[in-house]
Amino acid sequence: MNKFEGEVVERFLKYISFGTKSDPNSDSCPSSKSQIKLADFLADECKKIGLSDVICDNNGYVYACLPSNNKNYKSKIGFMAHMDTSPDFNGKNVSPRIIKNYDGGNVALNKEKIMSPQKFNVLKNYVSQDLIVTDGTSLLGADDKAGIAEIMTAINYLIKNNIEHGDIKIAFTPDEEIGRGVDKINLDNFDCDYAFTIDGGEIGELSYENFNAAKAKIIFYGKNIHPGEAKNIMVNSILIANEMINRFPKSETPATTEKKQGFYHVNYISGNVDKTELEYIIRDFDKKNFEARKDFIKKLVLDTKNEFGCEIDLKITDQYYNMRDKINNDLIEFMRKAFKKANIIPIERPMRGGTDGAMLSQKNIPCPNIFTGGHNFHGPYEFICIQSMCKAVEVIINLATQS
């Protein structure tokens, strides 16, 4: 057994017993009261292992510090993970199962849900390793309670073994899954020179690029009248909204793009003849292309308004930006060195999404993202490899002890 295995698994199983699904329809912070329960629990655990300046604030953020024990370390380093789970699927009453020495065959989560290597090809990478899976009725919560467990295990190891390190700051955040993870973060409590989110996927994953992101809300106003008397009078907002949707490039959707290709994604529509609402998300890695995409929507709205003679409201809101603009090559090499020391070949891939780290980077704390070892997040087929979790702990320790 790996020296980290017992602790990291025990912590992980403990944390996923808390149902912490965030709620996009709530304006409170955290968006769900259940997150406060885990936050309080984590604050107590931080105190128990000997961390200082432990705070659990009213917004559900947990902060802690491990002070430097070697004055030769000049930088303050931070580690961050989020407590909430995705609102996309049930996160309560998680019933995990450990599969020892996976044989490469089908994994029956329950009678209805079978995880096969034919459908989930990534399983083929984990033959003879140990997996933690769900019972098919909930997500697992590896996103991102695995990150929390790995950080806590690594920090506890540093303390117990009196290993030399610089100042280490820790933050566990609420509501990352609904894009609010650092909205109310207190940077006085997380005052580090650079940080790392432990919130990635497969072993070796290392991300220091992500989308620039915005959302667009478009409201079409029609004119309703009895259909029998509608000729040359009715303006059907549903038809106009549909016409606009068809004018977006069909080759630039999530289903038709990959790697560093950007897209437009219509993810909400609701309405009637009088009024129809559309919501789009806009994504692009390149800042210039990102701005061009927003301009495209503005022009499309104007053209549609002029053509159909109807009122259309448009509101575009930026959500986050590409962290690569804030992360220098020295920090990238620093991470590569930590991976190499753990005998891991980094898989350096851009994130087709965002993390707390992307938003934190815009607050001038560069914050790339590192793997947890999990797969198939946000649904019942989520699983994590125990050996990968142990390697994540090792990478965290390496990052914390490199000068």
Contact 313, 218 (CB under 8 A): yes
Question: In this structure, what is the dihedral angle of CA atoms 338, 342, 346, 350, given to the nearest 10 degrees?
Answer: -60
In the numeric block, which tokens belong to residue 364? 């001038």
176 given a catalytic annotation: yes
In 3-state terms the chain splits into helix, strand, coil percentages (rounded to 5) of 35, 25, 45
In the numeric block, which tokens belong to residue 79? 């580690």
Calpha distance 353→114 (Å, rounded): 28
Neighbours of 193 (CB within 10 A): 16
Calpha distance 279→266 (Å, rounded): 6
Contact 381, 373 (CB under 8 A): no
What is the maximal distance between C-alpha atoms in the chain?
83
243 given a catalytic annotation: no
Q: Which of 45, 176, 199, 284 is catalytic?
A: 176
Contact 131, 377 (CB under 8 A): no
Classify 35 as helix, strand or coil. Answer: helix
Cis peptide before 30 (omega within 30 of 0): yes
Calpha distance 94→102 (Å, rounded): 21
Give every strand in the sheet of 194-200, ordered side by side.
Answer: 52-56, 62-66, 168-173, 77-82, 194-200, 369-371, 205-207, 347-348
In the numeric block, which tokens belong to residue 389? 């979790």
Q: Which of 84, 202, 209, 356 is catalytic?
A: 84
Which residues are marked as active site? 84, 176
